[in-house]
Amino acid sequence: MTIPDPAVTPAEMRAWAAIFETSNTVQYAADRELRASVGLTLAQFEILARIRQGQDAALRMTDIADELTVSRSGLTYQVGKLEKRGLVERRPAPGDERSVMVHLTPAGVACLEAGSPGYVRLVRAMLFDRISKTDLETVTDILGAVRTQLRTQPKRSTFRRSRRP
């Protein structure tokens, strides 16, 4: 097997491995923490957290999918599970009958409040306590700029899954 040209440099591979492995390790630990503390996956908890940041603790389904870079169908599935637990409600968007708004319920707020302390402690211990304030600002600036550039590309939520032959 030949490596396509241009191949990544050793420095690029080290950077990619550090980003990938760190992200996966922290996400896996956070997922376990949240499943144990509030019975939600990290993905479900992040959905609730994003909704809470919206005006009146509500967001359009498409906006949530775009922010979390998930497919619309994947988000619909997860929101359905959250709705069955009484943590969110789906309602038509005012003034746009094609859009669906997801609203956080009081039970959803309580779930966020119950899960947040352990989640924050874990992320702080695994990530923020291990890097200096200066390094945190540098990493945030670098990855924030990359994220801004990537957000100009078509959103994942706009792509349809291809059918298997």
Q: What average pLDDT score do residues 107-126 get?
A: 97
Tell me what the pLDDT averaged over the chain comes to: 90
Order of strands, sheet of 58-60, starting from the edge strand that comes earlier in the sequence:
58-60, 96-104, 88-93
Q: Is residue 149 part of a domain?
A: yes
Q: Is residue 3 part of a domain?
A: no
pLDDT above 70 for 36: yes
pLDDT at 55: 86
Which range scores top for mean pLDDT: 58-72, 94-108, 124-138? 124-138
Q: Is residue 20 part of a domain?
A: no
Tokens coding 111:
């779930």
The CA distance from 36 to 33, in Å, is 5
Q: Is residue 84 part of a domain?
A: yes
pLDDT at 7: 84
Crossing angle for the helix pair 61-68 and 72-84, to the nearest 10 degrees: 110
118 neighbors 33 (Cβ within 8 angstroms): yes
Which amino acid belongs to residue 20? F
pLDDT at 117: 97
Number of Cβ within a 10 Å radius of residue 14:
11
Number of Cβ within a 10 Å radius of residue 48:
23
48 neighbors 68 (Cβ within 8 angstroms): no
Burial of 108 (0-12, 13-18, 19+ CB in 10 A): buried
Q: Is residue 51 part of a domain?
A: yes
Looking at residue 36, which CATH number applies to its domain?
1.10.10.10
62 neighbors 157 (Cβ within 8 angstroms): yes
pLDDT at 162: 60
Q: What average pLDDT score do residues 134-162 get?
A: 83
User: In angstroms, what CA-CA distances link 142 with 80, 89, 146?
Assistant: 35, 36, 6
pLDDT above 90 for 54: no
Number of domains composing the chain: 1
Q: Is residue 11 part of a domain?
A: no
pLDDT at 21: 97
pLDDT above 90 for 78: yes
Q: Is residue 131 part of a domain?
A: yes
Q: Is residue 2 part of a domain?
A: no
Domain hosting residue 122, numbered range: 30-155
